[in-house]
Amino acid sequence: MINFEDILHKRLVLSRPLSKNEAEKLNLTNTYFGDEEENSLPKQWFCSIDIEDWKDVEIFVQGNMEKPNEKFIEMAGKILDNFQQHLSRALKYLKEFFPTQEVENYDLSAISFGKLINFDDYLFKGFTIAFIYGDYPYAFQFKVKFKENGWPIGFEGGPL
């Protein structure tokens, strides 16, 4: 069996804006360099992994400037160990709201772990499973939100 926690510990890298020096080395202009206010926000750590038949699925885990949050890595390990169950639940959930869309036309694009905010401003620990449906320029992205225990609580969707 694949140990997803070990994979995440080895592969996750911090997503951050470029420094001014890095942008100059790359010869970039009009680059945003962040500000002090941004330092108070949780940081995203990411990597790309293969999960079952899905290739290059982006994984995002919240953390700080030094490392990803260990509790969220543990959550990711548990969820990914039982991924087929959560994937099926997400697709069934979307099918309830979009009955004419074919389940096999959803492409898994990303899974995020961390603190989420719901439409009622309730903050909770959980994860999202993001899919792309359709072809560009008519593609849509759908994210199914789950509580930490794996219970779906809603979704977001919109054009890419």
- Within a domain: 25: no
User: CA-to-CA distance for 140 and 88, rounded, in angstroms?
Assistant: 19
Report pTM: 0.84
Q: Is residue 37 assigned to a domain?
A: no
pLDDT band, residue 34 (cuts 50/70/90): low
Quick check: is 33 in a domain? no
Give dist(CA 7, CA 61) in Å, integer.
Answer: 13
User: Residues 59-84: pLDDT tens digits?
Assistant: 999 999 899 999 999 999 999 999 99
Q: Residue 98: inside a domain, yes or no?
A: yes
pLDDT at 35 over 90: no
Residue type, 65: M
Number of domains the chain contains: 1
Per-residue pLDDT of 110-138, as tens digits, reads 999 999 987 777 889 999 999 999 988 89
Q: Is residue 73, in this structure, part of any structural domain at all? A: yes
- Give me the domain span that covers residue 130: 4-15+42-159
- Residue 22 domain flag: no
- Tell whether 141 is covered by a domain: yes
